[in-house]
Chain A
Amino acid sequence: MNTQERDALVYTFRRYMADKLGIALFEHQADWILASDGYQLTGKPAHPQATTRFVNIRRANTTVERMGITERPGGKAKVLADLAAYKSGKSWSGAFYLAGFAAVPGARVDIIGLQYQICTPEFDYLAEFLLSDRGLGLPYTRYHNQPKSGRMLIEIKSTGARFECRSWEQKEMLKGQERDAYYFCESYMLPGLSAFKSVAQNLRKRRGSAVFTTTADRPWVTVFHERGHGQDPSFADWHCTCGVHARENPYTFSQQEYDRDHPQKGGLMTRDQFAVAWEGKLGEYVGRVYNYQRGQRQFTRQTHPEWWADPAQDAA
């Protein structure tokens, strides 16, 4: 099976799973998962007669909308990031994404966390999608879920697809393999982009993907934001979904807790913490020395015309 066939199979199986289980994704979840399939949301309702070019989106008021999709300009994204607030459904969508590989014969997918326990939410959701009676109930040859002893593995009987959790603390064990996808849980905990670079070669042969879903707790995750919005053609296969507010997930959002933490309402959080935790913002980070983000505080012809030789000429 070549990589195009594999990608088509993953896409089809994910749609089948969504139909069978009655799944409607939140917009940010659909945004990055569609990017991995080479699509993007049009932002408009789908044509009533559309049979494939649509996706069901669950809104914050829990209603479901049938939204249109179109081809993504950069094609299928292979490095994907979902930078969202706490409890906005990142792990769930990660598991939904990974579940698509269960249909691929011999698929190999690693779920990487700083420690095994970090992988627990994604792994539990994945087991629920694929193995449980509430999910697809697929037969399996192996299923271990023992985070404390580092044994977290699902192997699907019919296809031999294997999902395994790995600990970044034993990163040397990740070398020299061949993978269809890496999923990095709570990526901000990892040391930086080096976590990806050190295993990226394992994705090369199968044209695999790397997924980072995280809150923007550490500055290094802005690397996805900078490269994942299509400005740089050499990173066309990077995608970033960011600025996802906790309110987007109505099942976990609590207005009372939101108000309790809100800095302008005398809450418990600083503005920085609140922006990251509730608003999914990349802006300012706890632990930073300077309140600065690249691109800020520039003096240009517009802001300081007296500093420029030819004020009439616009800066690029």
Chain B
Amino acid sequence: MTRLSTLSDLRLPHDCQLYLAADTGTFLSALIVAIDTENHAFALAEFPNYRYISDQCELNDISTPEWATDVVATMTRLGGVPMAWADKNSQFKEEMRRYGLRLLGNKTRLETRVSIAREYFANERVHLAPWLQVLPYELENAKWPDEASSTGKYARIKRSDHTLDCLEHILSRRPRITQRPIAQKKGFLEQYLEDNVTPSTTTADIHLGNG
């Protein structure tokens, strides 16, 4: 009998890097994304403190400390650092620090964040874990407004988007692997031979001379 895959079934490739983002407020959410060597983003785990029931957002019974502890524990277990990109004006920075979660203000504006995230989608560089529930819903339901605002801004409608915000925060940083494997430095002799000596291409038997 087959069973549904879960986060514990994952074996992260050693050369991927983990990123975390959080959206704070009454509705909390966090998202862990792994970036691979080709800069593809893999959304691994979401932590909303809410769910959608018939298109309505409803809070789950989970306290902020429980939520933060869960995020930190999962990030740490996966081998990442519990530092999360968040809105630059988040009021939760101090509180989250108490639970070991450090929030970093992302100054990128919403329009830019969406634009970059769309770029990732257009190039098929976003992959979602099959157990995610809320992020797929929010991605599917993200909508443009009918018109630009009076100030000329044309940003997506800010509704049902807490986990989506997290994805956009991460992607807007254009994350990439910072610790690429360093190429082994060659010794003097190896380098000299490679640069100056052309390898022999003859197929003749060296024991018989050149004939």
Contacts and interface: CB of A to CB of B under 8 A. Distances in A.
A220 B3 CA distance: 30
B188 to A, nearest CB: 37
A316 B3 contact: yes
A1 interface: no
Interface in B105-156: 114, 117-118, 121-122, 124, 126-130, 136-137, 139-144, 156
A298 B55 contact: no
B11 A309 contact: yes
A194 B121 contact: no
Interface residues of B, number: 33
B39 to A, nearest CB: 15
Contact of A308 (B2, B4, B11, B124): B11
Interface residues of A, number: 33
A290 B167 CA distance: 12
Given A292-B121, A297-B127, A314 B11 contact: no
What is the interface of chain B mostly: helix, strand, loop, or mixed? mixed
B154 to A, nearest CB: 11
B140 A298 contact: no
A192 to B, nearest CB: 5
B149 to A, nearest CB: 16
Nearest to A309: B11
Interface string B154-168: 001000000000000
A299 B55 contact: no
Interface in A259-316: 287-295, 297-301, 303-304, 306-310, 313-316
A60 to B, nearest CB: 32
Contact of A298 (B12, B13, B122, B128): B128
B5 A300 contact: yes
B54 interface: yes
Interface of A: 192-194, 197, 219-220, 222-223, 287-295, 297-301, 303-304, 306-310, 313-316
Per CB-CB distance, the 10 closest pairs between chain A and chain B, nearest first, are A289-B142, A299-B127, A309-B11, A316-B2, A294-B136, A316-B4, A292-B139, A289-B156, A298-B130, A315-B5
Interface of B: 2-5, 8-13, 42, 54-55, 114, 117-118, 121-122, 124, 126-130, 136-137, 139-144, 156
Given A292-B140, A299-B127, 7 more contacts: A289-B118, A293-B140, A300-B130, A304-B42, A306-B13, A315-B2, A315-B4
